Amino acid sequence: MISENEIKKVVEQVLMELGGAIKVEKGLSMDSNTDVKGCGEEEDGLPDITTIDLKKQVLVPNPEDLAGLLRMKESTPARLGVWRAGPRYKTETLLRFRADHAAAMDAVFTDVSEEFVARNDMFAVKTMCGSKDEFLTRPDLGRMFDEENMAILKEKCVKNPQVEIYVSDGLSSTAVEANAEDTLQTIIQGLKGYGIKVGTPFFVKYGRVGAMDAVSEGLGAEITCVLLGERPGLVTAESMSAYIAYKATVGMPEARRTVVSNIHSGGTPAVEAGAHIADIIKIMLEKKASGLDLKL
């Protein structure tokens, strides 16, 4: 066991690191409306509750061992030390949970903006899904295009590109808006540096990963890469992935895709991911393979 002195030291250190953010008062938990630094307080409104670092927040009023509790919280992103109102959550805990879930739901149920498409000089097509509901309940339709949309793709895109890169909403519009632009530009620049030609970028609404196979066949692309929003978690709604395949065909095994996942500010940042993806594409072209067939 550690000595009392050591515990004291740990507590002091933690409190210092927190800038006095934890103030344990008699019979009450810390007052969440005050003393929380970095809370982004606006002059005309309440502070943003989503900026509070949950890992450093203890709501248990008089814990037997505060330092121990903080050490426990440091070891996991789980929402611990949240205390309770009767057997239920404190209001602050409930609101933060609902806010994190709201961000996740909004990422799924909101469309990528037209501004995003225009800003990136793209045009938009859609899969066979007629609505967000249909997109969520019919994964099969999210992998297919009707004749009209396929005709638009064929008309507006360079034929038989070496590399076709496009963007699709997938399950998070937030992820696309936050990352796709930077990732896309970095990939294009990277490939340019290698002397590799890139086809016409575009946007696919209501797209599942498998839509890239139809794109690949329709345009005759050697390599197809889609930047797509992933299903949001409560930790982040901004996670995007890149799925890349060499000569993708409809019905091919999933194992033929190479995936770069976890692209967001808390994971692999967009620009860094873009550079990495450009390197992968270069190797794919050399080895003429992707997925499990490709040893990176």
Instruction: Give contact residues for other proteins (rule: CB under 8 A).
Output: 60, 62-66, 68-69, 72-73, 75-84, 86-89, 93, 97-98, 100-101, 104-105, 107-109, 136-140, 171, 231-235, 237
Question: Measured from the CB atom, is 80 or 188 closer to other proteins?
Answer: 80
Q: C-beta of 236: minimal distance to other proteins in Å?
A: 10
Count Cα neighbours of 220 within 13 Å in the Cβ-side half-sphere: 6
Q: Which tokens go with 78? A: 């789980």
Burial tier of 2 (Cβ tally within 10 Å: 0-12, 13-18, 19+) = exposed
Question: Measured from the CB atom, is 137 or 160 closer to other proteins?
Answer: 137
Q: How many whole angstroms separate alpha carbon 190 and alpha carbon 180?
A: 15
Q: Which tokens go with 21? A: 């953010």
Question: Measured from the CB atom, is 135 or 202 closer to other proteins?
Answer: 135
Q: Are 234 and 169 in contact (CB under 8 A)?
A: no
Q: How many whole angstroms separate alpha carbon 127 and alpha carbon 296?
A: 32
Q: C-beta of 104: minimal distance to other proteins in Å?
A: 4
Q: Which tokens go with 28? A: 């009450």
3-state DSSP assignment of residue 229 = strand
Question: Measured from the CB atom, is 235 or 259 closer to other proteins?
Answer: 235
If one counts every other C-beta atom within 10 angstroms of the C-beta of residue 211, the result is: 28
**Cα–Cα–Cα angle for 192, 210, 191, nearest 5°?**
5
Q: C-beta of 201: minimal distance to other proteins in Å?
A: 26
Count Cα neighbours of 57 within 13 Å in the Cβ-side half-sphere: 27
Q: C-beta of 13: minimal distance to other proteins in Å?
A: 17
Question: Measured from the CB atom, is 56 or 79 closer to other proteins?
Answer: 79
If one counts every other C-beta atom within 10 angstroms of the C-beta of residue 137, the result is: 11
Q: C-beta of 151: minimal distance to other proteins in Å?
A: 28
Q: Are 47 and 41 in contact (CB under 8 A)?
A: yes
Q: C-beta of 270: minimal distance to other proteins in Å?
A: 21
Question: Measured from the CB atom, is 82 or 180 closer to other proteins?
Answer: 82
Pairing, β 163-168 against β 203-205 = parallel
Question: Measured from the CB atom, is 140 or 146 closer to other proteins?
Answer: 140
Q: C-beta of 215: minimal distance to other proteins in Å?
A: 22
Question: Measured from the CB atom, is 73 or 126 closer to other proteins?
Answer: 73
Which of 55, 93, 59 shows the shortest CA–CA distance to 76? 55
Q: C-beta of 267: minimal distance to other proteins in Å?
A: 12
Q: Are 224 and 147 in contact (CB under 8 A)?
A: no
Q: Are 141 and 205 in contact (CB under 8 A)?
A: no
